[in-house]
Structure 1
Amino acid sequence: MSKIIEHFKTLTQIPHCSKEADKLCDFLVGFAKERGYEAEVDEVKNIYIHKGTPRLCLQAHYDMVCMGKAPQIETYEEDGWMKAKDASLGADNAMAIAMMMQLMEEGKVLEYLITSDEEIGLIGANQLAFDLKASYMLNLDSEDEAEVYIGCAGGADITAFRQDSYTEGKGACYEVAVRGLSGGHSGVDIDKNIPSAIKVLGAYLAKQNVTQLVSLYAGERRNSIPANAVAIVRSETVLPNEEAVTARVLDESPDILKEGARIIELINCFRHGVHQMNKSFGIPHTSINLAIISADEKGGMQVETSARAMDMEALEKLTQETVELFETFGLTAKVEDKYPAWKPEVTDFTKLVDKKMQEVFGQSRLMAIHAGLECGVIAQKYPHIKFASIGPTIRYPHSTREMVQLDSVEKTFSVLERIIQAL
């Protein structure tokens, strides 16, 4: 067990934020080759490591969502959990890679598919073209022990833009800020009543009848629930501090955005969060994250959102509704980085994984996840492969609260060993 954790700690010291993970790519290729494996890297930096003629391919991604001080990561342990000081930890998905590294140390005859830039739209998975030989693929990117995932949400990012200009304003100038909210994963945490800094700020401005907006900078990542939002406004009445909101007077008299009032209105009209629940699995069926908004004269108004749904018909409907809302407010909308849902299916492979999970944990559930596992994309490219997904318990990924349960890592690796042995 300690070897896996040591591998993970090594990975935390190699920067691997999305789009900035070349050093980790090079490290993993070298690590594999030193242990007798063949390693290939394609144009988008996906890594394919293999030996012999394996029946099983293990799959994970090697980029991470960098929040707080990340990629500067200082790990520590507390009450059986590993955490990072003021940073996202990157257990999503480096703990999976640490398990792979241990299996490479043991020389297991397996395929390892480690994809790039998963966290910013499954970019690597969408461009896969390796000649995979295994009949089964086990994704290691789910985040609850004793659960076998057999389906996942599809998703799409909807962005919008409109140019704006300044006009004369009235009243005192304020900085109105919401800072340091907990944040979280825009898929698996979207139903956990985590407040969005953008929505909190919008509600405050509407309550105080603020319509004069100078600038707005809010949110961090498309796949993270916003933790911070800061607006510069003008008001002819005194703006008070409220819980989670601070209002600070500035010694300035700036011009205001002509469409500032409409921006505030859009924030309050936008249905951030869960739209519909999936009764079969007790998870959201459709949701959308109002992720990032920026507004000033130079860059205009830019909005970034992340929509998810457990089937493609529902995703198409939610996407179209969002586009129409943006267009109602005079923005030009664009749909980006669309990826398919992975339709839940029970197979001989999912039954095997479920059985091995029960042997270790004493229980197991077949589940679907309201997040974008790469299985849906890869399954379209390799229809002969059967899929399942497992992973250790990780809480609050994509935030500085991210943590992984160490005992869960040990037990999940035991399940993995049993699956390998059975195949």
Structure 2
Amino acid sequence: MQKVMQYFKQICKIPHGSFETDELKEFLVARAKALNFDVLVDEAGNIYASKGNPKICLQSHYDMVMVGEAPNLVLEEKDGFLSAKNSTLGADNGIGVAISLVMMEEFENIEVIFTNNEEVGLWGAARFEYKTKSKRLLNLDSEEDFRVSIGCAGSVDMYASSKVEKTVAKGVVYELKVEGFPGGHSGTEIDKNIPCATKFLAKFIKENGGKIAFFDGGERRNSIAANAHATVVFDKELSEIPSFVKADFKGVKECEIYKNSDEVLNMLCIFAQGVRAWNKELGIPEDSVNLSTVKEKDGALEVLFFARSMSKDGLENTKFETKTLAESFGFKIRNENQTTPWKPVANEFSHAVLENLRKYSPDAHFAAVHAGLECGVFIGLDDELLATSIGPNIFSPHSVKERVELASVEKITNAVRSLLKDMKC
């Protein structure tokens, strides 16, 4: 594990937020070549490295979600966990990358895929240009060391937009901020009822009869909003301000406001954040929607809703419901980056993975996850491929509270090494 953590700490020193990954790409390519792998890089920045007669393909993504002070990562180790001060850590999926690099040092007959820009809609995997030589793919992007993932949710980005038109209003002007909410992963943590900063701010403005002059909420498509701020005009000074709202009084004056301020607030308040349906068989959400971001962009106010479902029908129903809601308040909607759910099915390869993981995590079992995994994309590209996913315990990814359990990293490293030995790699 020591070697894995050395690699991971090297990765942490290199900025690698989504769409800002070139420097880490160069590092990974150079390292693979130094280990005598044949290396190819496609137009999307995916790295494919092969050596010998591959029996298995290890796969992980090398971009990270940047929240807080990232990419300036200051690592902190405490009580058996590694985190980063006031920022995401990037253990999702830098630990998977580090484990792959160690296995590339130790084995002669493996292939590795490092995908680019996974955190923005499995972007890189969908554009992967090569075919693996082996037909067994082990993804290292799961986040519980007792879980062998054999299925995942599909997802879709739903952009609701309305042209920004303003009118002048006179009143009491405030700059409002909601900051430091917990945030979290919009898939694996959507059932934890983590508060959405955007909805809390919209509700406060609505309850006090405010009109929006400017609104900005949320950080990332796949993160629960931790921060939101707005410029708002009220009829009178605010008398009661809850502790979670920071209010900066700007005076009594004229201010341009959105003509559709009421419609914007109504849509944000009525929208049902979180789990929409529960899958009793799998013990995870069946359908969910996250209010990801609210941004002014190219002369429009754009609201991004990010939906996930374990079924294609569920995804289509959520798209219909969200479209109906948005259009009711004068917004136009478009859908992007739709991925197909990966139906849970165990096979001989997943059983081999489970057997080896149980050597180090005795309670390990098959599961599906209400989040996106690139396995489904790769199976879509090659229907002969057998795919499975494992990974160490990572808590609160996509938030400043992200941390990885070091003992768990050792379990997963040992399980991967044991699997590769069994497969005579």
| Residue 206 (structure 1) shift | 2.3
Distance of 1:172 and 1:334 partners within structure 2: 36
Distance of 1:387 and 1:236 partners within structure 2: 59
Distance of 1:199 and 1:103 partners within structure 2: 45
Distance of 2:10 and 2:167 partners within structure 1: 53
CA contact (8 A) 2:309 2:341 kept: yes
- In the TM superposition, 1:226-305 aligns within 5 A as 226-239=225-238, 240-251=240-251, 252-295=253-296, 299-305=299-305
TM-score after normalising by structure 2? 0.97
Q: Can you list the C-alpha shifts for 1:38-59, whole angstroms capped at 9, x where unaligned?
A: 1100011110011011121011
Distance of 1:29 and 1:107 partners within structure 2: 17
**What residue number does 2:216 align with?**
217
Identity of aligned residues (%): 39
| Residue 230 (structure 1) shift | 0.7
Distance of 2:381 and 2:168 partners within structure 1: 56
**What residue number does 1:361 align with?**
361
* SS of corresponding position for 2:268: helix
Distance of 1:163 and 1:64 partners within structure 2: 32
Distance of 2:190 and 2:243 partners within structure 1: 22
Report the residue type matching 2:190 in the other structure.
I
**What residue number does 2:375 align with?**
375
Distance of 1:277 and 1:243 partners within structure 2: 33
Distance of 2:406 and 2:189 partners within structure 1: 21
| Residue 180 (structure 1) shift | 1.0
CA contact (8 A) 1:180 1:227 kept: yes
CA contact (8 A) 1:29 1:39 kept: yes
* SS of corresponding position for 1:360: coil
**What residue number does 2:106 align with?**
106
Moved more, 43-52 or 321-330: 321-330
Moved more, 321-330 or 78-87: 321-330
**What residue number does 1:331 align with?**
331
CA contact (8 A) 2:145 2:408 kept: yes
CA contact (8 A) 2:56 2:137 kept: yes
Q: Can you list the C-alpha shifts for 1:248-288, whole angstroms capped at 9, x where unaligned?
A: 21135312211111111110111111101111121111101
Distance of 1:42 and 1:164 partners within structure 2: 39
CA contact (8 A) 1:159 1:303 kept: yes
**What residue number does 2:29 align with?**
29
**What residue number does 1:71 align with?**
71
Distance of 2:172 and 2:180 partners within structure 1: 26
| Residue 129 (structure 1) shift | 2.1
2:221 aligned with 1:197 = no
Report the residue type matching 1:288 in the other structure.
V
Report the residue type matching 1:260 in the other structure.
S
**What residue number does 1:83 align with?**
83
Distance of 1:17 and 1:388 partners within structure 2: 25
CA contact (8 A) 2:294 2:304 kept: yes
Count how many residue pairs are aligned between Structure 1 and Structure 2: 421
**What residue number does 2:95 align with?**
95
The alignment's C-alpha RMSD in Å is 1.3
- In the TM superposition, 1:162-181 aligns within 5 A as 162-181=162-181
Distance of 2:12 and 2:348 partners within structure 1: 36
Report the residue type matching 1:229 in the other structure.
A
CA contact (8 A) 1:357 1:363 kept: no
Q: Can you list the C-alpha shifts for 1:300-328, whole angstroms capped at 9, x where unaligned?
A: 31111211000111111111211221111
Moved more, 25-34 or 98-107: 98-107
* SS of corresponding position for 2:336: strand
| Residue 118 (structure 1) shift | 0.5
* SS of corresponding position for 2:191: coil
The 1:58–1:175 alpha-carbon spacing in structure 2 relative to 1, beyond 3 Å, is: same
CA contact (8 A) 1:35 1:107 kept: no
**What residue number does 1:11 align with?**
11
| Residue 32 (structure 1) shift | 0.7
| Residue 295 (structure 1) shift | 4.7
CA contact (8 A) 2:263 2:330 kept: no
Instruction: Flag structure 2 segments of 5+ consecutive residues without an equivalent.
Output: none
* SS of corresponding position for 1:171: strand
Instruction: Flag structure 1 segments of 5+ consecutive residues without an equivalent.
Output: none
Report the residue type matching 1:237 in the other structure.
K
**What residue number does 1:307 align with?**
307
Report the residue type matching 1:393 in the other structure.
N
Report the residue type matching 1:231 in the other structure.
A
**What residue number does 1:414 align with?**
414
| Residue 131 (structure 1) shift | 2.4
Distance of 1:129 and 1:21 partners within structure 2: 18
Report the residue type matching 1:228 in the other structure.
N
Distance of 1:181 and 1:162 partners within structure 2: 27
* SS of corresponding position for 1:391: coil
Report the residue type matching 1:414 in the other structure.
N
Q: Can you list the C-alpha shifts for 1:3-51, whole angstroms capped at 9, x where unaligned?
A: 1101000000111110010111111010011111111000111100110
